[in-house]
């Protein structure tokens, strides 16, 4: 595999972002949420308008801190000596979101069976589990328009997303945002578990018990406490990174 960037040539802040993002890719693979070489997780380098994304052609369990590719908002590779390429179509969704959601450091988009299945239901995600409560507190939907390569779809995607941190892309998959990489990962964990539980309940053919809307409406403040910030993503994220190190520390190279 070609060599990536040299740690000595970049800032400490960028390197830490690279390590966290590489860990996120590895954790997604460990959970079985990856899709060959497809789907993407992007992260903004703090205090810059530069972004990191996976090199096109590498599996998620091959991603390392050094082989992540630095790009601008238009998907242009910023290191002229980089041996890696990106999938421009794959960055379409991410660039659209990074353009308008400056509060979000990380955008995570996956094609898991469970999120595709629930996104393809007319009712979408139902209030059937505590995992669903977290997602429904900040949920949005975007209708399928074919492969996400058209620039004019960006505006509709941005409008549909609004201020939410969870999105189900109809007939396509799931998407989460976070103020940190850890927050985005925990949001995807909640969304995926919510979809898994919903499908398991539906498979019984029995009548489910739906959580009352008043309770769903009251979850939002609680969700912000539990899975965002110091008591949420940032509390659980160090444990997830330690897990990635135990599994295969090469992600931090």
Is residue 180 helix, strand or coil?
A: coil
Name the percent of the chain lying above pLDDT 70.
Answer: 93
> To the nearest whole number, what is the mean pLDDT of the chain?
91
Q: Report whether 134 contacts 188 (CB < 8 A).
A: no
Query: What pLDDT, on a 0 to 100 scale, did the predictor assign at position 91?
Result: 87
Is residue 44 helix, strand or coil?
A: strand
Q: Report whether 29 contacts 60 (CB < 8 A).
A: yes
Centre a 10 Å sphere on the Cβ of residue 95 and count the other Cβ atoms it contains.
21
The token duo for 155 is 């505006």
The token duo for 15 is 């390197």
pTM recorded for the entire structure? 0.92
Question: Which single residue is written with the structure tokens 């997303």?
Answer: 161
Mean pLDDT of 94-113: 96
Query: What pLDDT, on a 0 to 100 scale, did the predictor assign at position 230?
Result: 47
The strands making up 166-169's β-sheet, listed across from edge to edge, are 69-71, 51-53, 40-44, 106-110, 173-178, 166-169, 139-142
* 198 backbone dihedrals φ, ψ, rounded to 5°: -60, -45
Mean pLDDT of 92-116: 95
Mean pLDDT of 236-240: 92
127-146 tens-digit pLDDT: 999 899 989 989 999 999 87
Spatial CA neighbour of 173 closest among 90, 99, 104: 90
Query: What pLDDT, on a 0 to 100 scale, did the predictor assign at position 231?
Result: 45
* 225 backbone dihedrals φ, ψ, rounded to 5°: -80, -45
Mean pLDDT of 225-243: 72
d(CA 34, CA 52): 18
Residue 102 pLDDT grade (very low, low, confident, very high; cuts 50, 70, 90): very high
Query: What pLDDT, on a 0 to 100 scale, did the predictor assign at position 151?
Result: 73
CA angle 158, 42, 196 (to 5 degrees): 80
pLDDT at 224 over 90: no
Q: Report whether 87 contacts 106 (CB < 8 A).
A: no
The answer to whether the Cα torsion of 108, 113, 118, 120 is positive or negative is positive
Mean pLDDT of 182-190: 94
d(CA 119, CA 149): 20
- Among the residue ranges 100-109, 177-186, 231-240, the one predicted with the least confidence is 231-240
């Amino acid at each position: 595999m070609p060599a990536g960037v040299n740690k000595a040539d970049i800032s400490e802040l960028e390197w830490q972002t690279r390590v966290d993002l590489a860990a996120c890719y590895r954790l997604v693979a460990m959970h079985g949420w990856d899709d060959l070489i497809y789907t993407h997780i992007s992260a903004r380098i703090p205090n810059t308008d530069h972004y990191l994304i996976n090199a096109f052609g590498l599996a998620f369990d091959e991603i390392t801190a050094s082989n992540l590719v630095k790009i601008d908002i238009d998907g242009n590779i910023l290191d002229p000596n980089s041996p890696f390429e990106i999938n421009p179509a794959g960055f379409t969704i991410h660039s659209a979101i990074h353009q308008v959601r400056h509060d979000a450091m990380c955008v995570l988009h996956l094609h898991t069976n469970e999120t595709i299945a629930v996104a393809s239901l007319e009712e979408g995600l139902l209030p059937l589990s505590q995992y669903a409560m977290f997602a429904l507190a900040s949920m949005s939907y975007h209708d399928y328009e074919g492969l996400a390569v058209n620039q004019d779809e960006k505006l509709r995607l941005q409008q549909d997303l609004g201020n939410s941190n969870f999105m189900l892309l109809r007939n396509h998959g799931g998407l989460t945002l976070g103020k940190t990489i850890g927050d985005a990962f925990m949001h995807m964990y909640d969304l995926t578990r919510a979809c898994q539980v919903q499908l398991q309940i539906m498979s019984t053919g029995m009548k489910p018990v739906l959580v009352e809307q008043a309770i769903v409406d009251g979850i939002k403040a609680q969700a912000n406490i539990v899975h965002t910030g110091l008591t949420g993503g940032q509390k659980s994220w160090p444990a997830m990174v330690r897990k990635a190190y135990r599994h295969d520390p090469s992600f931090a190279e």
